[in-house]
Amino acid sequence: MGPFRRITLGALLAIAGCDVGTAVVLLSREDGGDDDPPLVTSSPKSEFKVWVSWLPEPAAADGARADLIASNGNPAAPLWAQLLGSGVGTTLFDPAVDPASINTILIQATAGQNYRLDSVEILDDEGRVLEHASGTTWSNLVNPPGEMLGPPDGVDAVTNAAGSTNAFIFTRYAGPIERFQINGHAEGVPPAPGDVMAVGGFTSGSDERPGGLAIDPDGLIHLTLSVNNDIRLVRYGLDAAFVDGIQIDSSVNATFGSHSVALDPSGEIFTTATIGDGKVLIRSFHPDLGSGWNRTIYSGKQEDRVEANGIALDESGNVVVAGGMNSAQGLNHWLSKLDGGNGSVIFDFRPGGDPGETYWHGVTTGPGNLIYTTGDLTSGLLDVVQILTGRFSPAGAGQWEDLLGDTDPLGDVGHSVALDSAGNLFTGGSFGTTVQGRNGALIRYGPNGGLSQVITYNGPANGDDEILDIAVETVGSDTFTYAVGYETVAGQGQNFWVRKYDANFNPVWTRTHDGGVGNDRAISVAIHGDQLVVAGYQTATGGLTKFVLRVYAK
């Protein structure tokens, strides 16, 4: 790869523990909270209140509902003796009672304030979601009550208390209930950071997997999507509703590699995809999805590929693609630049000679048309695979590179890179370990390539946990990093994982999602205004992987 490499080993400088890190507004007991101020920015007229109890069967719940209606929605002892507290938005509760004695959660709201209730999540002692509200709800003056069932999806059950008659809703769970979180917000008050605002998907009878995504200034979401053996460009609104789409390529038989998308300021769309037989297809589309140019690049050795973060546009409108091209030594780093207007190749950098099969996974560009990449590399000296991150000139000449990782045999990899407004470079990926599987890795370099900070994330099961994409933004004097990927949870497999970090890489909030069957992953992320858009997949009953688009309050 040239003379720009330096090696840094064992630079795991800080460990981030596993937690839910949700947008906590209030904890029901003083020793369970943190020191952060409430996240709701305006105060509603009154809070909702929460009780817990034990109801042995649905018939008992029917009777409890009748009693509550007769008392104008006011719970009474002995059944409702455990008043936990109250909240004004998404709230974590930690009952100071025997978890085995709780299987029912009651929420009450007065006429002083209507609430939009999205979901109730039952959590373990490490904050992992064990169960959602499901099946039957018992309520009065809540419409429609069934919208509180299932995982958070941005579709709410709304309380509508009238006069002195309070609204209420309660649900029964398998239990025991050690901790739980009520997701929702007051009518007229914005969702708390980390709340789910919308969820969407794609309708097909096949496997579906997203690649990269990009959002235009009007909030139109563009993403690439594999549907069985086809690759499509699909578009969604910020409400996660499908808008339109077009086929990029069909009859794709690639075993490895992925696909991605980038947008220029005029609305032109550029896609890149591994389409099989080692071929990488790069295409352009007009804003109305009319076809522009296309170009196929390959080495002839049938193993070339590009990944979900492998395309970017520079300030001049040129298309930069990073991935891998095969050579006599195996799969090697590949970096190419194409004219955005006609697809002609400006440079095609295939250095060759890298030991082992390692390549670029992610690319971004910065001021002055500089190019930044991340991926992995087998160190010839130590015979281990480590994260390789670097910067190139507009002509593709290497300016600096850093090889970072440890000596454990499980390989390290960088999946995504992003720049902040000060020119600091962020890399998201994973470090392979002997006893904890893959640990998520978040890395920051200074503008000149100096290593600034590294943290890792090991989930509760000591299984594989990876950061697959990152997005970075600067708000005033603060920089925030949004990392998405997956974590392994015992009994659930891989779960969708989304986390916001502050400028010092401290977690601000975290959201996880278990689809209920098999593995679930967040693949790509982008920011639009106050919203965070995440594309991923979850495994459905029967084993198909199904695309899911989740929009969060940032």
- What percent of the chain stands above pLDDT 90? 82
Specify the pLDDT at position 149: 96
DSSP state of 121: E
Higher model confidence: residue 363 or residue 23?
363
Specify the pLDDT at position 382: 67
pLDDT tens profile 48-62: 999 999 999 999 999
The average pLDDT across 411-438 equals 96
Q: What is this structure's pTM? A: 0.91
Confidence grade of residue 351 (pLDDT, cut at 50, 70, 90): confident
Which amino acid does the sequence have at 142? V
Which amino acid does the sequence have at 377? L
pLDDT tens profile 314-336: 999 999 999 999 887 788 999 99
pLDDT tens profile 22-49: 333 323 322 333 333 333 334 557 999 9
- If 0-12 CB within 10 Å is exposed, 13-18 middle and 19+ buried, where does residue 264 land? middle
Q: For the sheet with 221-227, list strands across it.
A: 208-215, 221-227, 230-236, 242-249
Mean of all residue pLDDT scores within the chain: 90
Q: Are 192 and 553 in contact (CB under 8 A)?
A: yes
Specify the pLDDT at position 439: 97
For residue 370, the number of C-alpha atoms closer than 13 Å in the C-beta half-sphere is: 18
Q: Which domains does the chain have, with CATH numbers?
A: 7-18+196-553 (2.120.10.30), 30-186 (no CATH)
- If 0-12 CB within 10 Å is exposed, 13-18 middle and 19+ buried, where does residue 171 land? buried
The average pLDDT across 413-425 equals 97
Residue 499, pLDDT > 60, answer yes
Instruction: Give me the DSSP letters along 431-498.
Output: EE-SSS-EEEEEEEE-TTS-EEEEEEE--TTSS--EEEEEEEEEETTEEEEEEEEEEEETTTEEEEEE
Confidence grade of residue 77 (pLDDT, cut at 50, 70, 90): very high
How does strand 7-9 pair with strand 398-405? parallel
User: CA separation (Å) from 404 to 355, 359, 413?
Assistant: 16, 15, 9
Residue 20, pLDDT > 60, answer no
Specify the pLDDT at position 380: 65
Q: Are 388 and 377 in contact (CB under 8 A)?
A: yes
The average pLDDT across 294-299 equals 93
pLDDT tens profile 369-406: 999 999 999 876 667 899 999 999 999 999 999 999 98
